[in-house]
Chains A and B, each alone.
Chain A
């Protein structure tokens, strides 16, 4: 029922503005679908990062599995230190691609999940919001023609302009506040919306009950129900 954990070699670690791109040799590993995630841990792991970290793949090529990282603490820092990475996944439920037009919305490191989705939805409009210009550098990885806004402008502003009359699906990933605003706008315009959410995770496979998020109005495990959810389930 659970995929095998694999040790994958690091092919390259590259700065991408304020973020870091981690490229692993895929070595035949199952990549799953966009929106699913992997539990990653540097091998060997440093003492201050005992647990693995949940990270979504930015893309999967025949020979490469790539992750875009916001290096925040010891776990993500160790992942960028070279060597090998212990990879468990793919885990959880990813995006369900719907027929018809697509609007992709990313906020901050939430953009990390979108390059792969863009490959599957090449006609999609892409809207990205970032804190600073340094963070916005990664927009080039997502889509050459993405609409990019930097604070104080919020990504929901161009979204609000595009939604009237839009008949398709919104796929969004970003901080909770942004996802809440995106879901509210989509609901207002009667547009289908899928959200890729985040929570602190110790295991990623339903074992710890650590990843509680309000889903269908109750605390439920995001790693089991999500991390991609129909917006109506997350904001109920």
Chain B
């Protein structure tokens, strides 16, 4: 069987599979087979998150309104990160905030820890007022934020983008111009669930974010166009639940593949997807996942590949 080993932003990883930020707590359940662990988004101050209900199942997916529940930067650095460092997988830290200064502080302090191999800037969380997503929907603010954070650390800086924008190319290009080493797409789509009985918003936070198989075509579209526009290495995610989904994301232009909602229903999904991908590579006579990257793009777009 071909090896699944993959290079991403200077890292060598045993497989292309990682978790989506906020969809796995490795300190509770273990790493469930991911090749690098992505933390839940950390903010400067602790956040309890939104009042319940926080989740609602929808056709082929779910809407969540968690509200970035996290212990805050100090406790993350003191309690969580040292324990995560012992898990034996590289750590990608996801960072969020309400101002470029907040992001920069977190990036500098987290990036200094030896277990952290990359930092993901979450500029796409739909579940907090202002901050985050309002930066990630504006190309100018995105460029400025990435530029500022890029200066704060030596580890690769990735921008996690929202699909809920008019033109993903513009945001992806702005992140690239700001110096992003890679992109992560997609975060959840903005969504809302209505309580059938009261006809009021069902979730405690009001609106929410849609994830799961329902979002896969939207995610593939975002990955495809972000890749065509920037040629940056991409962590592709949105509805991945198996090896053939992963091949589609690689073909669209992703180098790593993230799994989120599918982990909730099946904690063995990462191991299964890796096996399925290896079988598919063998069938195709491919030597590794990198052979499939950007296969969906016409040869003309190769000029923009890094």
Contact = CB atoms under 8 A, between A and B. Distances in A.
Given A51-B57, A219-B49, A219-B51, A205 B267 contact: yes
A52 B263 CA distance: 11
A5 B54 contact: no
B52 interface: yes
Contact of B29 (A1, A75, A86): A1
B49 A202 contact: no
Contacts of A203: 263-265
Nearest to A73: B57
B24 to A, nearest CB: 5
A5 B262 CA distance: 14
B266 interface: yes
B268 interface: yes
A205 B53 CA distance: 17
A166 interface: no
Contact of A199 (B22, B28, B49, B52): B52
A208 B65 CA distance: 10
Given A1-B30, A51-B62, A207-B24, A212 B265 contact: no
Interface secondary structure of B, over-half rule = loop
A209 to B, nearest CB: 5
Contacts of A200: 52-56
Nearest to A48: B59
Contacts of A213: 52
B104 to A, nearest CB: 26
B213 interface: yes
Contact of A210 (B61, B64, B213): B64
A50 B28 contact: no
B170 interface: no
B276 interface: no
A163 interface: no
Contacts of B69: 209, 212, 219
Interface residues of B, number: 35
Contacts of B24: 207
Interface string B13-33: 000000000111100111010
B53 A206 contact: no
Nearest to B61: A50
Contacts, number: 96
A207 B59 contact: no
A161 B279 CA distance: 66
B264 A202 contact: yes
Interface size class of A (residues with CB under 8 A): 20 to 34
Interface in A80-117: 86, 88
Given A1-B30, A219-B49, A208 B55 contact: yes
Interface centre among A4, A49, A202 (most CB of B within 10 A): A202
Contacts of B265: 41, 45, 50-52, 203
Contacts of A207: 23-25, 28-29, 263-264
A211 B264 CA distance: 12
Interface in B23-50: 23-25, 28-30, 32, 40, 48-50
A42 B62 CA distance: 18
B52 A2 contact: no
Nearest to A1: B30
B60 interface: yes
A95 B156 CA distance: 46
Contact of B60 (A47, A212, A218): A47
A1 B267 CA distance: 11
A105 B22 CA distance: 36
Nearest to B214: A50
Interface centre among A2, A4, A41, A50 (most CB of B within 10 A): A50
B212 interface: yes
B195 to A, nearest CB: 13
B66 interface: yes
A47 B61 CA distance: 10
15 contacts: A2-B32, A5-B266, A45-B265, A49-B57, A50-B60, A50-B61, A51-B62, A86-B266, A201-B55, A202-B55, A202-B62, A203-B263, A207-B264, A211-B54, A219-B49
